[in-house]
Amino acid sequence: MPTDTIERGSDRPVTRTGRIASVLTTVIVVLLAGVALVAVVAGGGGQGSARTGPAAVAVPAGAPSLAIPLDEAAPTGIEVPAIGVTRDSIMKLGFNEDLSLQVPPDAATVGWFSRGASPGTEGPAVFASHINYAGKKGGFADIDQLATGDEVVVHRADATSVVFVVDRVERASKKAFPTAAVYGPTARPEIRLITCGGAFDASTRNYEDNVIVFGHATRAYQG
């Protein structure tokens, strides 16, 4: 993704009260209008190698289990074993002037939408990274290879970690970004991983679509 924001849409949530505020009716209309433009991405490639089943997170032996949801705490790292992604730092992201999601300043960085839910609290914790940037492979270049059942672990500033399981992977047109599904409130802790995808428009130097991973928290542990 040489330029552009990671996602586009007509409206964005602008407040945070432990979860994203209720979605506006106009956003719902945009979502429904874009249903035909959303496709489920067939996952299971795992860095291009054969997959024999979901990739699980390795929880440290003896790590105490914690009940979810957790209290708020910022993420400090993320691991996606199925595609070999490990980051020990996370950048905070906000809004651009047009209310689109900010993007990391380089290929490798993974960012967290800090005006949304903390990972492990009720609501969707939203993470974003590039597919490519300045000729380098991006942090989320391979998230379209994730499959249902793959696990993601997010480490938090309070020395706790939350394990999420992938529910589905979708590709959506940036002209009909599913704002409600990505940012809307949920009754349980969930996660979203977002990057660019689809065709690359050389005239605008932008990808036409977004790849979005949806998942939910299954457990948490100390450490």
* pLDDT digits (tens), the chain, 223 positions: 444 556 654 344 433 433 343 332 223 223 333 333 344 454 554 444 567 889 999 999 999 999 999 999 999 999 999 999 999 999 999 988 888 888 999 999 999 999 999 999 999 999 999 999 999 999 999 999 999 999 999 999 999 999 999 999 999 999 999 999 999 999 999 999 999 999 988 888 889 999 999 999 999 999 9
CA–CA dist 90, 78 (Å, integer): 8
Continuous segment of H or E residues that includes residue 29 = helix 25-33
pLDDT score, position 36: 31
Q: What is the pLDDT of residue 104?
A: 95
pLDDT at res. 7: 64
In single-letter form, the type of residue at position 193 comes to L
Structure tokens at 100: 């689109």
Query: SS3 string of 153-189?
Result: EEEECCCEEEEEEEEEEEEEEHHHCCHHHHHCCCCCE
Query: So what's the pLDDT on residue 1?
Result: 41
Q: What is the pLDDT of residue 90?
A: 98
- What is the Rg, in whole angstroms, of the alpha carbon atoms belonging to the chain? 16
* Domains recognised in the chain with CATH numbers: 25-49+64-222 (2.40.260.10)
